[in-house]
Every structure is written in C-alpha cells, then in structure tokens.
Amino acid sequence: MTTPSLEQLRNKLNIINHHLLELLSDRARVVQEIGDVKENQGTPKFDPVREKEMLSELVAANKGPFDDKTIQHLFKQIFQASLNLQESEHKKHLLVSRNKQKEDTVVHIGDVAVGGSKPLMIAGPCSVESYKQVRLVAKAIKDTGISVMRGGAFKPRTSPYDFQGLGIEGLKILKEVAGEFGLKTISEIVDPRHIELASEYIDVIQIGARNMQNFELLKAAGEVRTPILLKRGLAATIDEFLHAAEYIVSRGNTQVMLIERGIRTYEKATRNTLDISAVPILKQESHLPVLVDVTHSTGRKDILVPCAKAALAAGADGIMVEVHPDPATALSDAAQQLNIDEFNRFYSGVKESGLL
C-alpha cells in the first residue's frame, strides 16, 4: 500500500472541514430554534446542568486521539458560540431595539417633542434650593427660549451628611415656578413609592445614574405614563443601559429618553469620561431619543460648548446643562454649575453652530 501524498491528505482534511462546517451550521440552526422555544417559555438561555451533561457524555464517548480535556475545551467553545448566537437573537427582540421598531420614538413632554426632529436643550439647577433660586434660573432660561427646566428635589448624594434635597417641597417649588413661566419640568425620583405621585408635580421623571439598575424603581416607572429620562449608570455598559430601558418599556411606558452622562474611567481631567461614541451606538441600536448631559459628564465649565457641539454633531436629540444663579453658594455640584451669564454665553455658543 502506498502512503498518501501530502496533497491527498490535505484534500481529505478540506473535505472534513466542510463537513464540520455543515454540522456546526446545522447545530447552530437547532440552537436558534431552542432559543425561540426558551424565549417563549421565558426560560434562561444558559443552562449549566445541561451543559455539564453534554460534556460528560462527550468525554465518555471519546476514543481519542484527543484527550478528554481537549474535547471538553473544544466543545465548550462551541457551546459558548451557541449561547452568543441565542443572546444576539434575543437582543434583536428587545422592545427598545431598532430591529423591533425602525422609526424614532418621539417623546411628548406636553407640546414639546423630543427625538426625531429639532434637538432640545434642558437647563436648570442641580438642586432645587428655594423658590427664589429656581425662579431666577427659570427666568433666564425662558428668556433664551428654552422650554424644559431641570431641578433635583431628591438628591442621591455620595455622603449622607450632604444636602439631600427638599423632597416633595422641592417638587412643589418646581411646579409653582414652571406654571408661572410656562415651562416643563424634569426632576429625579429615587423611591418607587413616589413615581405615581410625581406626575402631580413634574412633567418628566428622571432616573439617576446611581439608580439605573434599581430594578424596582424601573418597574414602577414602567407602570406610569409620565415620560422618563433614564441616565446611564456610572459604570454601565451600553447593553446594560438598554436593558434598564427595556424594564420600563416592557411594562408599557414607551415614553423613555436615554441620557449619556459620562462613565467612570481612569481619566481625572474630567469628572467622568463623556462617551461620545455612545450617542451614535445608542441611536443605531435603539429607537429611543438620546440626550447628553454635558455638565455631569465633564464636571467642567470650560469645555461645555465643544462637548455640546460634539454631542449634537454625533446625533444627540438634546443636551442637558446645570445652571445656578450663584454657583459658589450652591448646595450641590457648586464647581460645575454655570451662572446665568455663563449660561447665556454657553447657549449662544452652541446655537452659533447651527446644530441646535
């Protein structure tokens, strides 16, 4: 018997590769079918017991020349690839995904539309401190033509000894001042028990970065029909951000806006790192409006204009900025809030770009 030539052996290998490819593709199609069944049943995609059983069966059937460890390793790679396939299929089915809805969601804050058309500017103090303070900001922003004002009444502070906000009293101030100037309002709610009550006072409920994965709060936000402004978590991936939004939308509240507010990195030149790439990625992956909070992401007043322009150029549907009549005396975020003159300069700086 003659020994086969290298070329003959290589041809043989090529044929086996093609068989393997066909088998792997067949296997992947079955995996997709299993994924659909699991999706309908609401069963988790990853089943460690089943995976262990499959590996034991394969090891028991292994006659070499690969040793058991290698067989386990190879099949684990196949299992992982299958799981990834099921998960990317699952992602396509998220209600917040662009695959599920092609056209942009437009969020209606009364007669103000967010998403799909003209970008929006939201301005206001970090915290609601007094009627007088909010009134001064409201007047300044109204004078520029801005129609949505922010202001925190419940403040999630790092230290329990810092100002925690005026609570419901703060919401009452916002309502009173907004009524006077014909403005819409946004304020953060931190307790699921306040979600329903909030709509008596404010037009948009903000869910803050620290609460992006407070699932009970997200579920409560999904039960009402008040628009929600969901902030990206301090160290949340885009995938986690979208899943947090899914919690709200899956409960029936489709009026959700996403807002990038900077993420934690090693960089110390800014308070957080503004992830500008999150804007086009979120716009591509989701139909929800995407905004950028230039104040919390940078923590610096001197780079707000270029950051706001970058956000709008990247496709953001709006910008958020903090304004205080006297930042030096502010009860929170004193260093980063613009005073009224600075705000007016910021506004015209952004406006000049023609992007707003």
- φ, ψ for residue 272, nearest 5 deg: -135, 175
Helices (H), 145-237: 168-181, 195-198, 215-223
Closer CB to ligand PEP, 188 or 285, in the complex: 188
| 150 φ, ψ (degrees, to nearest 5) | -105, 165
- The partner in contact with residue 219, picked from ligand PEP, Mn ion, none with C-beta cut-offs of 5 to 8 angstroms by kind, is none
126 binds Mn ion (CB under 5 A): yes
d(CA 263, CA 259): 12
Give the burial class of 134: count Cβ atoms within 10 A of its Cβ; 0-12 exposed, 13-18 middle, 19 or more buried.
Answer: buried
Q: To 10 degrees, what angle do helices 6-41 and 68-92 make?
A: 50
Per CB under 6 A, contacts with ligand PEP among 67-106 are none
Torsions phi, psi of 187, nearest 5?
-150, 150
Binding ligand PEP (rule: CB under 6 A), the pick from 184, 194, 231, 271 is 231
Q: Which of Mn ion, ligand PEP, none interacts with 231 (beta carbon under 5 to 8 A by kind)?
A: ligand PEP
Contact 246, 261 (CB under 8 A): no
- Shortest Cβ 204–ligand PEP spacing (Å): 12
**Binding partner of 209, given ligand PEP, Mn ion, none, CB within 5-8 angstroms per partner class:** ligand PEP
324 makes contact with ligand PEP (CB under 6 A): no
Query: Which one of 126-134, 183-191, 285-293, 341-349 is the stretch in contact with Mn ion (CB under 5 A)?
Result: 126-134
Among 165, 166, 171, 188, binds ligand PEP (CB under 6 A): 188
Q: H/E element holding 35?
A: helix 6-41
Q: Which is nearer to ligand PEP, 82 or 226 (CB)?
A: 226
Residue from 35, 115, 152, 222 that binds ligand PEP (CB under 6 A)? 152
Residue 126 vs 288, nearer CB to Mn ion: 126
Instruction: Write the DSSP symbol of residue 5.
Output: P
Q: Which stretch binds Mn ion (CB under 5 A): 118-126, 202-210, 229-237, 252-260?
A: 118-126
Is residue 331 near Mn ion by the rule CB under 5 A? no
Coil, helix or strand for 122? strand
Q: CB neighbours (10 Å) of residue 88?
A: 10
If one asks whether residue 126 binds ligand PEP (CB under 6 A), the answer comes out as yes
The interaxial angle of helices 304-313 and 340-352, nearest 10 deg, is 40
Task: Yes or no: say if 285 and 295 are a contact pair by the CB < 8 Å rule.
Answer: no
Minimum CB distance to ligand PEP, residue 212 (Å):
8
* Token representation of residue 149: 């004002």
Q: Compare residues 152 and 222 and give the one whose CB is closer to ligand PEP.
A: 152
Nearer to ligand PEP, 210 or 300 (CB): 210
Q: Which H/E stretch holds residue 142?
A: helix 131-144
CB of 337 to Mn ion, least distance (A): 7
- Interacting residue ranges for ligand PEP, rule: CB under 6 A: 126, 152, 188, 208-210, 231, 261, 293, 296
- Interacting residue ranges for Mn ion, rule: CB under 5 A: 126, 333
